[in-house]
């Protein structure tokens, strides 16, 4: 008999060679019907894998990320099988699960595949899936694995196998299809009830531009047809909310090939929006004891060598800027933190002076590959709402908790209510990815976990997601469409203070090393505004809208009254615009709706005589007639609901 420990801590006894599916059946038939994957002692296993030792078992359904991964990885196998049958002679490469679905990279040779071919691929996929074919793993010797793919003439699989160790190679079989695979599958193909081929794109083998170009087929699948329908409906909503589309329609930002890829240009309305976000955060920072600083857009290469950024990011950054002086090199700033370390080094500090909190809206530069650029969410130039707190070890937890409060304040003011705090730790198996002493990492990780617990945050732990210099707390926010985004981040760093020899004089009159906290509630203004656009569909909180009110005089006779009302509103700090075009009122209302102006004020003879305004609200319609004073009060009350003081 073996002892199986379940996630709730309960321990059950089973016969040796029982499977995860046997365990599921012993718990409930409902669970057994839905379980599709499992993890035993930290390793992904099939639901029919024999369990031969005591251990910890977790069962996964499609509702869990791990279950989706197994489902979509298995679907990639079926997609590859369908394509092989439709296009004989193609060469398969790799087909992983991704965040939403899966893809398979394929060398189609002489075959051509377009969007018109997607329906027949889907039809063949479902035809094969309905066979309810089981996925079976088997070990294969390196020689036999190479022989199979040499016979097929597949150079891609051969290259993969040549880099594997004999004894660690496995194949997965289902129906008449075999693929090189490490495992992690659903019980059988029949569980897949719906599939959609989403797109086809070019992709270089192993992401290397010097290697052959393949065709990447993206797909997504579900255990119920209804789930696919719902997903496609959300996808359509996402297209309507795409920040690139809305940014253009609302005249917030643009890009220019002449300026360069990934380098955003903020238009007047977008620049004003940015400024309001900056002013909003600066007010909170002032109350939180922060001091604003400004640093240059470049720095000497040695600065980033000292910080470790050049070693980690140098090859992926813009190349050094050379000056007329021999051997002098500068870099476009990839991070603000080295500059802030040097600001701290300006003069000596005592423990009585700490903490020091330096904040900056600093623009940084990263050379992202052109294929990875995406609107404002992935750019080469972006402005971080950056701050660095230098404190004593005793102050660390309280400072970290105060920073959590700041992040939560930002989220609540902007309508982000659904989020999870992710504790991002280093990967102990890959120490080469990080800098610093083990003892410092242990202290930093413990401080983050304790602070998050004391603030009552819902947390998940992700190993291997830490920054190279320290662990962090990342805030994963769900938008209105249920998509997850990483927004604010807080990081604990014992390493940069050592690299820059930062010190303070303690109560014992000796020099000590401060602890450094990196934090950015927005992350970057570009990415944050993009996510906010898609979350709100362009209907920002009233306090943030570029124009809060638009005045629509029904004819030029009432232009002066419109100007009078506008002045009164502006005096009450309500941003107002007058639409004085020679258009019908109905057309002006439609245009204001498209521009997402929150309030429309219609003025004519009746309103002028009564010193009143007729009010319409975006998306709601007519609200009736108000005195100007009452309307101003309406606006202020709505703003006060979301924009509370820090």
Clarify whether 512 is annotated catalytic. Answer: no
Residue 562, phi then psi, degrees to nearest 5: -60, -40
* Cα–Cα distance, 383 to 380 (Å, whole number): 10
Q: Which of 69, 77, 185, 366 is catalytic?
A: 366
Bridge partners of 163, per DSSP, are none
- What's the rounded Cα separation, in Å, for the pair 213 and 205? 6
- Among 175, 98, 185, CA closest to 137: 185
Alpha-carbon distance of 563 to 542, in angstroms, equals 22
Give the Å distances, CA to CA, from 163 to 146, 172, 200, 203: 11, 19, 28, 21
- Measured distance CA(290)–CA(625) in Å, rounded: 45
* Active-site residue, selected from the candidate residues 69, 185, 357, 472: 472
φ, ψ dihedrals at 349, nearest 5°: -125, 150
Residues 219 and 201: beta-carbon distance below 8 Å: no
The question of whether 384 is a catalytic residue gets the answer: yes
Question: 391 catalytic, yes or no?
Answer: no
d(CA 615, CA 360): 40
Q: Which of 384, 395, 422, 491 is catalytic?
A: 384
Q: Of these residues, 174, 388, 535, 588, which one is catalytic? A: 388
Is 366 catalytic? The answer is yes
Contact 17, 31 (CB under 8 A): no
Task: Provide the token pair at 315.
Answer: 């090859």
Beta strands in 165-206 (DSSP E): 170-174, 177-180, 194-204
472 assigned to active site: yes
Selecting among 196, 518, 535, 588, the annotated active-site residue is 518
Q: How far apart are the C-alpha atoms of 197 and 228, rounded to whole Å?
A: 11
Intra-chain end-to-end CA distance of the chain, in Å: 59
Catalytic residue among 107, 386, 493, 579: 386
8 Å CB contact between 334 and 317 = yes
* CA gap 616, 618 in Å, rounded: 7
Q: H-helix or E-strand containing 9?
A: none
* 388 counts as catalytic: yes
Known active-site residue 518: yes
Strands 549-553 and 576-578 turn out to be parallel
3-state secondary structure of 439: helix
Marked catalytic residue, from 84, 105, 124, 337: 337
Of the candidates 167, 192, 172, which has an alpha carbon nearest to the alpha carbon of residue 182? Answer: 172
Residues with a known catalytic role: 337, 366, 384, 386, 388, 472, 518
């Amino acid at each position: 008999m073996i002892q199986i420990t379940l996630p709730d801590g309960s321990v059950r006894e089973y016969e040796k060679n029982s499977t995860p599916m046997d365990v599921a059946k012993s718990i409930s038939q409902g669970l057994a019907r839905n379980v599709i994957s499992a993890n035993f002692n930290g390793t992904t296993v099939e639901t029919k894998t024999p369990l031969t030792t005591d251990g910890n078992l977790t069962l996964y359904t499609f509702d869990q990320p791990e279950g989706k991964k197994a489902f979509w990885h298995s679907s990639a196998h079926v997609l590859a099988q369908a394509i092989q049958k439709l296009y004989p002679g193609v060469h398969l490469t790799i087909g992983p699960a991704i965040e939403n679905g899966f893809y398979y990279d394929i060398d189609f040779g002489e075959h051509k595949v377009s969007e018109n071919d997607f329906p027949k691929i889907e039809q063949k996929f479902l035809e094969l899936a309905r066979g309810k074919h089981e996925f079976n793993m088997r070990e294969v010797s390196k020689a036999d694995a190479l022989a199979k793919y040499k016979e097929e003439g597949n150079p891609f699989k051969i290259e993969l196998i040549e880099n594997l160790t004999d004894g660690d190679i496995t194949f997965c079989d289902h129906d008449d299809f075999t693929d090189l695979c490490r495992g992690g599958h659903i019980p059988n193909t029949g569980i897949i009830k719906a599939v959609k081929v989403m797109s086809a794109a070019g992709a270089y083998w192993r992401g290397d531009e010097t290697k052959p170009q393949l065709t990447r087929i993206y797909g997504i699948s579900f255990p119920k047809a209804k789930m696919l329908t719902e997903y496609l409906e959300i996808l359509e909503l996402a297209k309507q909310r795409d920040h690139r589309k809305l940014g253009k329609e609302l005249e917030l930002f643009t890009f220019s090939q002449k300026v360069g890829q990934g380098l955003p240009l903020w238009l007047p309305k977008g620049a004003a929006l940015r400024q309001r976000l900056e002013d909003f955060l600066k007010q909170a920072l002032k109350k939180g004891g922060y001091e604003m600083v400004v640093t240059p857009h470049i720095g000497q290469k040695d600065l980033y060598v000292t910080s470790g950024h050049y070693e980690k990011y140098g090859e992926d950054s813009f190349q050094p800027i050379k000056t007329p002086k021999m051997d002098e090199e500068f870099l476009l700033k990839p991070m603000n933190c080295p500059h802030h370390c040097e600001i701290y080094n300006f003069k000596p500090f005592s423990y009585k002076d700490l903490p020091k909190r330096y904040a900056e809206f600093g623009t940084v530069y990263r050379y992202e590959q052109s294929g990875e650029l995406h609107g404002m969410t992935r750019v080469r130039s972006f402005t971080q709402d950056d701050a660095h707190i230098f404190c004593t070890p005793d102050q660390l937890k309280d400072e970290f908790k105060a920073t959590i409060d700041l992040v939560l304040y930002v989220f609540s003011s902007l309508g982000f209510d659904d989020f999870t705090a992710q504790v991002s730790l280093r990967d102990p198996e890959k120490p080469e990815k990080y800098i610093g002493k083990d003892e410092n990492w242990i202290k930093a990780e413990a401080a983050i976990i304790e602070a998050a617990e004391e603030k009552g945050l819902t947390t998940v732990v992700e190993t291997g997601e830490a920054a190279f210099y320290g662990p962090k707390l990342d805030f994963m926010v769900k938008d209105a469409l249920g998509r997850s985004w990483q927004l604010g981040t807080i990081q604990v760093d014992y390493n940069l203070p050592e690299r820059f020899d930062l010190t303070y004089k303690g109560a014992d009159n000796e020099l000590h090393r401060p602890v450094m906290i990196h934090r950015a509630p927005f992350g970057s203004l570009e990415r944050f505004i993009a996510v906010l656009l898609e979350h709100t569909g362009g209907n920002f909180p009233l306090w943030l809208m570029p124009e809060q009110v638009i005045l629509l005089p029904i004819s030029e006779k009432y232009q002066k009254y419109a100007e009078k009302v506008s002045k009164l509103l502006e005096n009450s700090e309500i941003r107002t615009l007058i639409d004085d075009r020679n258009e019908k009122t109905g057309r002006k209302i439609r245009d204001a709706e498209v521009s997402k102006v929150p309030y429309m004020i219609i003025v004519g003879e009746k309103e002028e005589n009564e010193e009143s305004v007729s009010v319409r609200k975006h998306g709601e319609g007519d609200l009736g007639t108000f005195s100007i004073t009452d309307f101003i009060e309406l606006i202020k009350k709505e703003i006060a609901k979301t924009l509370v003081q820090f």
